[in-house]
Structure 1
Amino acid sequence: MAIVASGAAVPPTAPDGKGIGPLLRGWREQRRVSQLELALRAGSSARHISFIETGRSRPSEEMVLRLAEHLDVPVRERNALLLAAGYAPHYPETPLGDPSMDALREGMERLIQGYEPYPALVVDATYHVLAANRGIAMLLEGVLESLLTPPLNAMRLTLHPQGLAPRIRNHREWRDHLLAQMDRQIALHRSEPLRALYEEVAAYPVPDPDPERAEDGEHLAPAPYFALPMQIEHEGRLLSFISSISTFNTPMDVTVAELAIETFLPADPATGKYLQSLVP
């Protein structure tokens, strides 16, 4: 599956007309950092930080970026802080289909294709699937057609009762893991679209355990002690995967900052052997 453009871009938090102060204070309190601690990190003074937050002082563009860095503010929201302080956004948001992104797109496509026969995909900040390899396509066989209509969403595909959910043998544990992952991201990014997605998928009904499967529990692959596996049925087989998520270091573009590459590694020898048998 070639890399495609995601849905509409998520705008940065709109300044409320009160300047940078309330936004900065909100991020500082969310990170549980005192004015003094932030000042020491940024090479400033607690008095100056207080003046910025109360609107008595307008920080320089450099100071806004320095404070945002020390508060680990996401790139998109750093632009919002700059706008609130009266400056132009510092980080561009280049569409993934732009010619300047050719090298990035081609690199990600080679990466996930080279990972075959193991599953791998690329998602954006709200889990829209931008690219997926044949390993992912294999797992999606039998999923409700409407869920496969672009834009595909990895969380919907996984947790929807007509998606992968009925085939995930340890669904409750995997669901808890995914919801906790989204919850951490919401706390970090303060993203309303991500929160709306969380509320949607968290409301999906949880499939009841199949009594026959419960009695057949000895066939479940043992969970590796080092990571929670996703155990999923495929054509009468039980496949077991552990996942890894990669992001880009020091991104200078909003689009790049919000990309994630998720790869699935066989969690047991039987899964690895079966996937290797699919290679022509």
Structure 2
Amino acid sequence: MTATNSAPHRPPRHPLPHRVAPAGPASFGDHLRTWRQQRHLSQLELANEADISTRHVSFMETGRTNPSRDMVLRLCERLAIPLRERNALLVAAGYAPMYRERTLDDPALAAARKAVELVLKGHEPCPAIALDRCWNVVATNRAALALLSAHVSPELLAPPINVFRLSLHPKGLAPRIANLAQWRAHLFERLRQQIQATADPTLIALQAELQEYPALEESPPLVLAGEMLGVVMPFCFDSLHGMLSLISTTTIFGTPVDVTLQELAVESFFPADDFTANALRELAQLPNTGG
């Protein structure tokens, strides 16, 4: 890959996968009950959290009381409901959505888009990827693009490109991940936590798909040297240029008023040893390189 001043690679724009709504809650009361149970709270516990009576909670769940807009927002805050789902509760209660949802290409998000591009470009020669809420790739830097395109089947690079699918599919990176069992368990735990927080049916469907992938030969856990063990999750990747040992961090572009930015994340990978650091620097000097 070549180190240039050009903007990070942005995959072709594409619609998100069609989100099939389950035969789930329709009324505000149904929504509220579902989220309360999702958070493992009793009516009494939610009432105490929201500083209202248990009877009020019960009446809202059964539809005997219509909540005010402020009450909807208060309950959403106490239940830690994501912005996208807060809009759904507002609509179910008869109010207009409060939180905007725009694509990252929207002119109003130009500053945010520029910030993402700077983060990705500034992380080179190390790989970095911007992701949406479903772990689909929104943008990458050149280092990440080179690694992905060199090691996975072209069919997995058709948009929407999903990083969980890329990691665990037999035609993806899975055969080259030295600590696959460890990495797979890490990804599934992250997905489980996100489903617990959002109850997103698209993520639930993704989880089911990943669980159906044929099992590959199990790999032993990777032990990092020094004090890294137990602090970060290693990603050991058998690239065409040798064994690359990486660790990752996630950056969240949160905002209380915009759905798109709340759901945007940047996954940045760092070298875990000197060989990987040197290899990434050398690869950055090669034109049109693949990892």
Deviation at 1:101, TM superposition (A): 1.3
For the pair 1:104 / 2:112, whether they are aligned, the reply is yes
Counterpart amino acid of 1:278? L
Structure-2 change in CA distance of 1:279 and 1:95 (3 Å): closer
Deviation at 1:70, TM superposition (A): 0.8
For the pair 1:262 / 2:231, whether they are aligned, the reply is no
- The match for 1:169 is 178
Deviation at 1:91, TM superposition (A): 1.0
Deviation at 1:236, TM superposition (A): 4.2
For the pair 1:222 / 2:224, whether they are aligned, the reply is yes
Q: Distance in 1 between matches of 2:176 and 2:21?
A: 38
Percent of matched pairs sharing the same residue: 44
Q: Distance in 2 between matches of 1:115 and 1:59?
A: 47
* Residue in structure 2 matching 1:70, options 75, 78, 81: 78
Q: Distance in 2 between matches of 1:14 and 1:92?
A: 23
Q: Distance in 2 between matches of 1:104 and 1:98?
A: 10
Deviation at 1:41, TM superposition (A): 2.5
Q: Which contiguous aligned blocks of 4+ residues in structure 1 show a shift greater than 4 angstroms?
A: 3-6, 9-18
Q: Distance in 1 between matches of 2:19 and 2:56?
A: 29
Report the TM-score, using the length of structure 2 for normalisation. 0.85
For the pair 1:34 / 2:42, whether they are aligned, the reply is yes
* Residue in structure 1 matching 2:164, options 155, 159, 164: 155
Q: Distance in 2 between matches of 1:191 and 1:13?
A: 10
CA contact (8 A) 2:121 2:141 kept: yes
Deviation at 1:13, TM superposition (A): 6.2
Bigger RCO of structures 1 and 2 (CA < 8 A, at least 6 apart): 2
Q: Distance in 2 between matches of 1:36 and 1:17?
A: 21
Counterpart amino acid of 2:237? I
The secondary structure found in structure 2 opposite 1:179 is: helix
Q: How many residues align?
A: 273
- The match for 2:5 is none
Structure-2 change in CA distance of 1:238 and 1:11 (3 Å): closer
Q: RMSD of aligned C-alpha atoms?
A: 2.4
CA contact (8 A) 2:180 2:218 kept: no
The secondary structure found in structure 1 opposite 2:61 is: helix
Deviation per CA, 1:75-98, whole angstroms, max 9, x where unpaired?
Answer: 111111111111111112112221
Structure-2 change in CA distance of 1:242 and 1:96 (3 Å): same
Structure-2 change in CA distance of 1:46 and 1:144 (3 Å): same
Q: Distance in 2 between matches of 1:124 and 1:52?
A: 33
Q: How does 1:185-204 map to 2 (within 5 A)?
A: 185-204=194-213
Counterpart amino acid of 1:266? P
Report the TM-score, using the length of structure 1 for normalisation. 0.89
For the pair 1:21 / 2:29, whether they are aligned, the reply is yes
- The match for 1:50 is 58
Q: Distance in 1 between matches of 2:101 and 2:19?
A: 10
Q: Distance in 2 between matches of 1:271 and 1:45?
A: 58
CA contact (8 A) 2:91 2:97 kept: yes
